[in-house]
Structure 1
Amino acid sequence: MSEKHLFSKEAKKKLRELAEGIDFTMMETNLGAKPSHFVPMSTKAVDDAGCIWFLSNKNSEHNSHLNSDKNIQLVYSKPSAMEFMTVYGTAFITTDKKVLKRYYGKMDDTWFDGIDDPNLTAIKVIPEDIHYWDTKNGKIVSLIKMGIGAITGKEQDLGEEGDLKINRPDYPFNH
């Protein structure tokens, strides 16, 4: 696997591609405790600043943890496409109606009583450290290349991995 670090605009594009393409992540909160707390979450969007957005219940355990410790880890995994990403960052909870309306969709009615549900919150994750693994060609091509490498003894390019560095001249910005 070759190493390819991406910066600024290219990094934001890759972050959006992976986070929105994989969609579900394991959100880890309460990082200083043993055990920490994990919950599966669906990514609503990656905004133009490179922040990742989720909807959440204000009474959830992860919201409770984020109220006392804003550090967060996200683990994205799509084994069928051989795409993976970890994101460490800072999370902020908001009840701003404009934000909630922007990210709320009909499928969210499964979890909430509409956009006016008093328990509806949004979580904004500001990434600080991002690392990704991407085969570029998917699982089947990667398996074929592994087989070719095993037969020929020649190293195959199975994809790329690297850090995503998002230029944030305005960090920390309003949340």
Structure 2
Amino acid sequence: MTTEPTTAEGARGRVTELIRDARICLLTTIAVDGRLVSRPMGLQAAEFDRDLWFFAYADSAKVRQIRVNPQVNVGFSDQRHHAWVSVAGTAQEGWDRARAEGLWNPLLKTWFPDGLDTPGITLIKVHAGSAEYWDSPGGTVVNLLGFAKAAVNHEVSTDW
């Protein structure tokens, strides 16, 4: 069982660990008509310095939605460790070749076949305003009870 950090620095460290372990998330944006829209995304940088980075196409619906309303949520689930993270923040889209080179992973060629020279490729940066996480102890048998207990007793909300 993971104990609750007692400092904001400890909480940020735990959020970083949980994000690093999960790596895949749901990015939720707000559509023009006000609907919440979520889609799976792969996080590109494992260090969490309040910014999360993603590759995308500049003409994608998510990027258009971010341009209209930059408020987003990024949710991570690590089933192996029974942990969940929710990051609320502000997103922006823009191309930075040097940053992209530092974030690039060869597995991304599946979605961007010409690598960093793929026409229309861009970056999405989510700057975190707040984060919450839940650590749930136990295995699958106590998962539901463990989650409920964690939500009541082990939730840490860190507003920066």
1:47 Cα offset (Å): 4.1
Do the aligned partners of 2:29 and 2:66 also contact (CA within 8 Å) in 1? yes
Q: Which runs of 4+ in 1 moved over 4 A?
A: 5-8, 156-159
- Pairs aligned (count): 155
* Deviation string, structure 1 residues 121-167 (Cα, Å, up to 9, x no partner): 111111112110013x5535x739x69xxxxxxxx88983211344x
**Structure 1 length-normalised TM:** 0.74
Do the aligned partners of 2:85 and 2:133 also contact (CA within 8 Å) in 1? yes
> Distance between the aligned counterparts of 1:55 and 1:39, measured in 2?
13
Which range is displaced more, 79-88 or 41-50?
A: 41-50
Who is 1:64 aligned against?
64
> Distance between the aligned counterparts of 1:4 and 1:32, measured in 2?
38
Q: Which has the larger radius of gyration?
A: 1
- Which structure has the higher relative contact order (CA within 8 Å, separation 6+)? 1
Q: Which AA in structure 2 matches 1:163?
A: S
> Distance between the aligned counterparts of 1:48 and 1:73, measured in 2?
15
- CA shift in 2, pair 1:13/1:2, >3 Å: closer
Q: Which AA in structure 1 matches 2:118?
A: D
Do the aligned partners of 1:89 and 1:129 also contact (CA within 8 Å) in 2? yes
Q: How large is the RMSD of aligned CA atoms in angstroms?
A: 3.1
- 2:111 aligned with 1:111, yes or no? yes
Who is 1:143 aligned against?
142
Please list, as runs of the form range in 1=range in 2, the aligned pairs for 1:30-69 lying within 5 A after superposition. 30=30, 33-47=33-47, 49-69=49-69
Who is 1:120 aligned against?
121
> Distance between the aligned counterparts of 1:157 and 1:28, measured in 2?
24
Query: Percent identity among equivalent residues?
Result: 22
1:33 Cα offset (Å): 3.8
Who is 1:18 aligned against?
18
Secondary structure at 1:52's aligned position in 2? strand
Secondary structure at 1:81's aligned position in 2? coil
* Deviation string, structure 1 residues 72-108 (Cα, Å, up to 9, x no partner): 0111122342101111100111201011111111000
> Distance between the aligned counterparts of 2:2 and 2:12, measured in 1?
20
> Distance between the aligned counterparts of 2:46 and 2:81, measured in 1?
20
Q: Which runs of 5+ in 1 are unaligned?
A: 148-155, 167-175
1:51 Cα offset (Å): 1.1
- CA shift in 2, pair 1:53/1:6, >3 Å: farther
Who is 1:173 aligned against?
none
Q: Which AA in structure 2 matches 1:78?
A: D
Q: Which AA in structure 2 matches 1:101?
A: E
Which range is displaced more, 26-35 or 10-19?
A: 26-35
